[in-house]
Amino acid sequence: MPLAVYILGLSVFALGTSEFMLSGLLPPIAEDMDVSIPRAGLLISAFAIGMVVGAPLLAAATLRLPRKTTLLALISVFGLGQVAGALAPTYDILFVSRVVSALACAGFWAVGASVAIAMVPVTSRARAMAVMIGGLSIANVLGVPAGAFLGEHLGWRSAFWAVAVASAIALVGVLTRIPRIPLPERHSALRGELAIYRDRQVWLSIGVTALAAGGVFCAFSYLAPLLTDVAGLADGWVPTVLALFGVGALVGTTVGGRVADAHLFGVLLSGITASTVLLVSLALFASSPVAAIALSFLLGFSAFYTAPALNARMFNVAGAAPTLAGATTTAAFNLGNTGGPWLGGTVIDAGFGFASTAWAGAAMTLVAIALVSVSLRLHSRSRVVRTATPRGAREPVTPHDAAPAGADGAPVTCATAVGDDRPVPSRD
């Protein structure tokens, strides 16, 4: 795995800390800004909305710009957004700062993911994405609990200042360690990349990713008040439980990244099913402190166990457009991160309590399982058709049949089955 991929993963640590740390800061932010906890939870949705909008727009806008320069510009804007959040005098300004930070975060993810994928062979895509997602996992292990700790002892604004410092460190890392990556001699045409959206497998992947992420974050976004108000834990337990979620996420990312390249659909079905079972268990046993703590760890594992497979699946079905594939995956994850907290806030406002967010999340993941099953059926049917095609006959080429571009713009030559990272031996 190239060193640059690990540097991208370390940079994602700062991005992920900012994205997820509000789950442990909602009560103090709500009190300081004089808003309800569900309205404070909309700050999580604001970040996710910025990611949804920013990923495809910035991916398209920077398609022909130097990769390293683009990464430097985006991480700089992100850091400035954290400073603006730390200084925000009102809820509205804090909301806007979250959206601006998210736009930069989305662009960094989209460009960074396409760079990481281009630098590795097709059979290592899930592992490369696991390294980047590992930055998110470490953010959950260290960054989010640290943010909750700072928020409890030094005020929630100190967490924003800490992320700003982490962003500056990431900027130095990108500047000094990411090599200059030449653009391909033949520039990608935006119209050609947009052709991936004609493929129903791409839309199925978007739906699966959004629902799988949204189901988990419907509950995770309100984990702090659930732990204190339902499970009866003291406020000091919140950083510890968030850290356990992060440890589960780190272990899940590592295991999922190793397994997904060979058993992509198996990881998707088993991981999302596990998340569904765990969410239902959390809804049923949220009043038990021991159960709430254990389920938080397991939920982190199941959610991030599927993440490398979700990323790799999108790059498989949209291999003809690697930049937009990365942007689309980022947008899909954050559609879930937008809808999940919104749905959670809606059921709380309806008077169903904090534990009801787990029921709502389980409903989302059940739909995700159904979509994975449809995608697998179409994939299996596609392989049967391809196998039945007589030798020498021309097969129709779909976007996910096209070879993905390598780091130099040339197609990757390793043949793979559609939607599967395992090399397919030649029939000759």
What does pLDDT average to over the chain? 81
Cβ burial of 402 (10 Å; 0-12, 13-18, 19+) is: middle
pLDDT tens digits for range 39-87: 888 888 788 788 888 888 887 787 778 888 888 999 999 999 999 999 9
Per-residue pLDDT at 75: 93
130: helix, strand or coil: helix
At 318, is the pLDDT very low, low, confident or very high (cuts 50, 70, 90)? confident
**Position 184 in a domain:** no
**Position 185 in a domain:** no
pLDDT tens digits for range 117-172: 777 777 777 777 778 878 877 887 788 788 888 888 889 999 999 999 999 988 98
Find how far residue 127's CA is from the centre of its chain: 15
418: helix, strand or coil: coil
**Position 402 in a domain:** no
Question: Of 273-287, 374-388, 394-408, which has the strongest mean pLDDT?
Answer: 273-287
The size of the chain, in residues, is: 428
At 185, is the pLDDT very low, low, confident or very high (cuts 50, 70, 90)? low
* Concatenated DSSP letters of 288-351: -HHHHHHHHHHHHHHHHHSHHHHHHHHHHHTTT-HHHHHHHHHHHHHHHHHHHHHHHHHHHHTT
Per-residue pLDDT at 389: 53
* Concatenated DSSP letters of 243-282: HHHHHHHHHHHHHHHHHHTT-HHHHHHHHHHHHHHHHHHH
Question: Of 5-19, 106-120, 398-412, which has the strongest mean pLDDT?
Answer: 5-19
**Position 53 in a domain:** yes
C-alpha closest to that of 341 among 40, 80, 114: 40
Per-residue pLDDT at 370: 95
Do residues 174 and 11 lie in contact, with contact meaning Cβ atoms separated by under 8 Å? yes
Taking 50 as the threshold, does the pLDDT of residue 396 lie above it?
A: no
Domain count of the chain? 1
pLDDT tens digits for range 256-275: 888 887 888 999 999 999 99
CA distance 274 to 282: 12
Residue with tokens 């683009």: 70
**Position 190 in a domain:** no
At 427, is the pLDDT very low, low, confident or very high (cuts 50, 70, 90)? very low
C-alpha closest to that of 307 among 259, 341, 344: 259
Do residues 103 and 50 lie in contact, with contact meaning Cβ atoms separated by under 8 Å? yes
What is the average pLDDT across 368-374? 95
**Domain membership of residue 224 as a residue range:** 3-178+197-383
Per-residue pLDDT at 424: 38
**Position 401 in a domain:** no
Per-residue pLDDT at 403: 38
**Position 424 in a domain:** no
CATH number for 21: 1.20.1250.20
Per-residue pLDDT at 416: 35
Instruction: Give me the amino acid identity at 104.
Output: A
Measured CA to CA in angstroms, residue 90 lies from 30, 79, 87, 96 at distances of 11, 19, 9, 10
**Position 395 in a domain:** no
At 419, is the pLDDT very low, low, confident or very high (cuts 50, 70, 90)? very low
